[in-house]
């Protein structure tokens, strides 16, 4: 990866590349990128963990909720997941659908990683029928749901910083096989437009990430979704959150063997890199593209509204070592105030849907 980065940087006009170009290379290079390589990334032997890998209850609850949404809104049962990782969410969703819904379903996975495709095939395809495609553009406009779990936080971002009342873009260079940062005056008109549209005003010495690629994906989702919902599960900040003194250094960071790494120039191609998404701008861009904002809920709030407490009520077992008790503990871990769900939000956007999304 260092050899590739050295060539990429030396071939650039100013011998520097943007952080967006750096992230695109180290995360998504077809052979060398972190997400594309045949390496376990999720779970105890990987670098990070997701909600769907704690328990199958997340995928199962989403299946039950989606079935109710389809029934209440006469929506086609087509569920499209972008970036399905190891396939555990999809497997749990499909299991629940087969066991309790028992009606036709089309499940589509948009996945570009050969490694993740192989994991999905191994886990899902022996039991369930799915459609796998490389990009959203391969889809005809459809009715249904577009779902993603921790997708937008892994998209390449530009990094800017305010210093002496001037705005700079933070670039990446290389000297003696070592990567380093260098600030150059901000000239990218798309970044300036982002700042104007978002209403964000940086404080002195504040650094922030600019997710230009997020707008492109929102536009792609809107193009293929004729009628339905966009469900985005991720972590992020509102404009008010970004103004908090603790956010002065931005949110860009890496995860390597379950350790948070503040310098994302370490372990290129070997480490997950992530940022908090801009919720206000995400919602604003969705509205502009016809994906109208419905609600933003903490993940535990969403699960409660979707009826997760009924799972506890219907499945009680006094034996603490039984599978039922293990499942109940997993449910509690998803809805406890200090649990993993409290760190995530679920943004719901709608297109041509005006009915009820949650049972009263």
C-alpha–C-alpha distance, residues 23 and 17, integer Å: 10
Identify any residues that bridge with 233 across adjacent strands, giving them in sequence order: 149, 346
Write down the pLDDT at residue 56.
87
Cα 157–Cα 180–Cα 16 angle in degrees, nearest 5? 65
**DSSP per residue, 126-178:** TT---EEES-GGGSPPEEEEEEEES-GGGS--EEEEEETTEEEEEEEEEETTE
With CA atoms as reference, report the closest residue to 41 among 27, 22, 21.
27
Q: Which helix (DSSP H) or strand (DSSP E) does residue 182 occupy?
A: strand 178-185
Write down the pLDDT at residue 215.
95
Structure tokens at 281: 């701008």
Structure tokens at 80: 């499209």
**List of domains in the chain:** 2-152+213-351 (3.40.50.12710)
What global pTM score does this model have? 0.91
Write down the pLDDT at residue 28.
94
Q: Considering only residues 47 and 17, tell me which one the structure prediction assigns the higher pLDDT.
A: 17
pLDDT in tens, 54-96: 678 899 999 999 999 999 999 999 999 999 999 999 999 999 9
pLDDT in tens, 115-165: 999 999 999 998 999 999 999 999 999 999 999 999 999 999 999 999 999
* CA 360 from centroid of its chain's CA atoms: 29
pLDDT in tens, 15-34: 999 999 999 999 999 999 99
C-alpha–C-alpha distance, residues 204 and 186, integer Å: 15
C-alpha–C-alpha distance, residues 68 and 49, integer Å: 29
Residue 344 half-sphere exposure toward CB, CA atoms < 13 A: 26
Contact 42, 284 (CB under 8 A): no
**Angstrom distances, CA of residue 350 to CA of 90, 145, 148, 279, 322:** 22, 9, 15, 16, 40
Q: Is 359 left (phi over 0), alpha (psi -120 to 50) or beta?
A: beta
* CA 244 from centroid of its chain's CA atoms: 23
Write down the pLDDT at residue 44.
55
Cα 308–Cα 314–Cα 317 angle in degrees, nearest 5? 115
With CA atoms as reference, report the closest residue to 294 among 228, 338, 219.
228
Structure tokens at 99: 């066991």
The chain-wide mean pLDDT, for the chain, equals 90
C-alpha–C-alpha distance, residues 271 and 161, integer Å: 24
């Amino acid at each position: 990866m260092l050899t590739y980065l050295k060539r990429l940087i030396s071939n650039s006009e100013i011998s520097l590349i943007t952080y967006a170009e750096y992230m695109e290379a180290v995360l998504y290079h077809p052979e060398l990128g972190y997400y594309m390589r045949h390496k376990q990334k999720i779970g105890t032997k990987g670098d990070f963990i997701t909600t769907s890998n704690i328990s199958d209850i997340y995928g199962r609850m989403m299946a039950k909720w989606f079935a109710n949404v389809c029934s209440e809104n006469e929506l086609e049962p087509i569920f499209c997941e972008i970036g399905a990782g190891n396939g555990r969410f999809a497997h749990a969703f499909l299991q629940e659908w087969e066991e309790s819904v028992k009606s036709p379903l089309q499940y589509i996975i948009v996945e570009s990683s050969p490694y993740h495709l192989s994991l999905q095939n191994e886990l899902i395809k022996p039991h369930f029928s799915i459609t796998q495609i490389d990009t959203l553009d391969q889809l005809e406009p459809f009715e249904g749901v577009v779902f993603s779990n921790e997708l937008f936080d892994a998209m390449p971002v530009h990094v800017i910083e305010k210093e002496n009342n001037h705005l700079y873009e933070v670039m990446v260079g290389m000297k003696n096989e070592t990567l380093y940062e260098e600030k150059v005056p901000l000239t990218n008109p798309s970044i300036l437009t982002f700042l104007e549209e978002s209403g964000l005003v940086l404080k002195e010495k504040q650094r922030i990430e600019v997710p230009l690629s997020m707008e492109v994906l929102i536009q792609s989702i809107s193009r293929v979704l004729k009628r339905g919902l966009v469900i985005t599960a991720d972590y992020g900040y509102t404009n008010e959150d970004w103004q908090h003194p603790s956010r002065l250094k931005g949110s860009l960071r890496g995860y390597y063997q379950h350790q948070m790494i503040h310098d994302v120039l370490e372990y290129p191609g070997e480490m997950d890199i992530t940022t908090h998404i801009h919720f206000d701008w995400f919602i604003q861009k969705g509205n502009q593209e016809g994906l109208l904002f419905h609600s933003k809920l903490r993940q535990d709030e969403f699960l409660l509204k979707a009826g997760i407490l009924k799972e506890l009520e219907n499945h009680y077992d006094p034996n603490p070592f039984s599978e039922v008790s293990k499942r109940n503990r997993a449910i509690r871990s998803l809805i406890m105030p200090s649990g993993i769900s409290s760190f995530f939000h679920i943004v719901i956007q709608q297109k041509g849907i005006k009915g009820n999304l949650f049972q009263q």
